[in-house]
């Protein structure tokens, strides 16, 4: 009898373990590799928390149904410290765990992972959060540019606004590295095409430095009307503070990596940031779910809402919808092909609306800009950049649930949605 009872117990334990294995097998694994330590940690953490919040909401609602079966999401995370080799190693570890998608938010690490995510038998979706135009040049069939417009969309609006302010001469003190180099070179080209003058180019490493007095002194010696600055938000705040401390009274143009609200929070307000042009703060977007999102996000993660949180949350909600539309949780090529069928997703579901996907894999998201005048934020302006004519622009406005001033950007520079 004892032997029989022991056999029953063993059988029950085995059955429970089997059920647990089946449950785990039903999980859809996604990975995050990014900077979770160092000066860019807040950037990586905000991305991660946006993804995490979406995963928790999806799972709390019972997951998604694929092929008649329920699936939950499982998020795995690793710190790559902006190192391309570490990012590739992280991606391989995620793939060994069965991950179908890996998120990353730095172009140098994205470029490295793009060389391995199409390896036969080890494919995964590369969820690339970056505004660099270069993602379109990678030719990666499994890349999804998640909810960050090409930075030229922002740049065009920045330059138009700066010209209206009468700025003619600009000095650049932008972060060093591949992304900063690309920003500076592209900005210089378009600024000069618009009739402006670049008086100085003094890059600085915003990831390792805290004293920017030397490049600022060299830039200010050229008597610019405004400064082009930016890198991680925390060190960009130091550049504002030090430039004003050195007597600079002109304007600032801030590259899209740095966030105005985060900087303003560090500087205890926007007084030092007067006459600044930058990307609109997320809580000014005017989408129906923005306030509800903030009310959930802030007490959970003990930090302010950022664009990284908004957009990576939205991309993850979109990914879940796409997987359901594709009818598979494993065939990454079929999932990638289903993005066009599953979109749009509007502001009554996610705070940053997604209207479709471009041929190069970038999701179609408006680029919103904003200025700081007399120590206060002005209303944001949203730019629809992918439409080809007035009818398409009006169609977007009809679909949109976001109540903000929206314009159609027609750029002579490039066809941004090739």
0.85 surpassed by pTM:
yes
pLDDT in tens, 94-124: 999 999 999 999 888 999 999 999 999 999 9
Domains 10-150+287-342 and 151-285+367-408 share a fold: yes
Per-block mean pLDDT, blocks of 10 residues, the chain (418 long): 46 42 67 90 93 98 95 98 95 96 94 96 96 89 89 92 96 92 95 96 92 98 98 93 98 95 94 96 88 96 93 97 97 97 95 93 92 94 90 93 80 44
DSSP secondary structure, 359-393, as one string: TTSBB---EEEEEEETTEEPPPEEEE-S--SHHHH
How do the domains of the chain map onto residue ranges?
A: 10-150+287-342, 151-285+367-408
Q: Phi, psi at residue 383, to the nearest 5°? A: -110, 120
Q: What is the pLDDT of residue 281?
A: 92
Dihedral Cα 111, 201, 230, 284, nearest 10 deg:
-110
Q: What is the pLDDT of residue 264?
A: 95
Indicate the fold that domain 10-150+287-342 takes in CATH: Rossmann fold (3.40.50)
Q: What is the pLDDT of residue 411?
A: 58
Cα(131)–Cα(176) distance, rounded to whole angstroms? 16
With CA atoms as reference, report the closest residue to 75 among 127, 30, 23: 30
Q: Phi, psi at residue 64, to the nearest 5°? A: -120, 160
Looking at domain 151-285+367-408, does it have CATH number 3.90.1150.10?
Answer: no
Cα(88)–Cα(109) distance, rounded to whole angstroms? 8
Q: What is the pLDDT of residue 20?
A: 41
pLDDT in tens, 216-259: 999 999 999 999 999 988 899 999 999 999 999 999 999 998 99
Q: What is the pLDDT of residue 404?
A: 74
């Amino acid at each position: 009898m004892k032997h029989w009872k022991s056999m029953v117990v063993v059988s029950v334990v085995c059955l429970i373990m089997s059920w647990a294995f089946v449950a785990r097998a039903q999980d859809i694994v996604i990975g995050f590799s990014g900077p979770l330590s160092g000066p860019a940690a807040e950037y990586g953490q905000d991305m991660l928390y946006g993804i995490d919040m979406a995963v928790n909401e999806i799972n709390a609602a019972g997951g998604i149904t694929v092929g008649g079966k329920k699936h939950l999401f499982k998020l795995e995370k690793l710190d790559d410290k902006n190192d391309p080799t570490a990012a590739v190693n992280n991606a391989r570890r995620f793939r060994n765990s069965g991950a179908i998608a890996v998120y990353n938010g730095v172009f140098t690490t994205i470029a490295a992972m793009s060389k391995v995510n199409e390896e036969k038998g080890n494919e995964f979706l590369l969820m690339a959060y970056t505004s660099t135009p270069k993602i379109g040049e990678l030719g990666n069939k499994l890349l999804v540019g998640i909810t960050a417009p090409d930075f030229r969309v922002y740049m065009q609006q920045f330059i138009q606004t700066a010209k209206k302010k009468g700025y003619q001469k600009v000095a650049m003190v932008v972060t060093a590295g591949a992304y900063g180099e690309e920003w500076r070179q592209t900005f210089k080209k378009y600024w000069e095409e618009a009739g402006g003058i670049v008086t100085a180019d003094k890059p600085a490493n915003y990831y390792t430095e805290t004293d920017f007095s030397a490049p600022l002194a060299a830039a200010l010696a050229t008597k610019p009307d405004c400064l082009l600055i930016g890198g991680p938000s925390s060190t960009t705040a130091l550049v504002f503070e030090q430039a004003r401390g050195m007597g600079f009274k002109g304007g600032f143009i801030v590259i899209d990596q740095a966030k105005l609200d985060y900087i303003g929070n560090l500087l205890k307000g926007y007084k030092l940031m007067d006459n600044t042009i930058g990307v609109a703060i997320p809580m000014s977007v005017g989408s129906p779910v923005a306030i509800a999102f903030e009310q959930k996000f802030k007490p959970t993660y003990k930090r302010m809402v950022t664009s990284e949180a908004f957009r990576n949350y939205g991309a993850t909600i979109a990914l879940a919808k796409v997987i359901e539309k594709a009818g598979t949780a494993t065939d990454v090529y079929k999932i990638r092909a289903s993005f066009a069928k599953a979109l749009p997703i509007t502001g009554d579901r996610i705070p940053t609306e997604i209207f479709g996907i471009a041929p190069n894999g970038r999701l179609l998201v408006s680029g919103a800009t904003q200025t700081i005048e007399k120590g206060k934020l002005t209303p944001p302006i949203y730019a629809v950049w992918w439409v080809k004519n007035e009818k398409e622009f009006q169609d977007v406005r009809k679909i949109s649930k976001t109540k903000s001033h929206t314009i159609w950007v027609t750029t002579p520079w490039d066809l941004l949605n090739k």
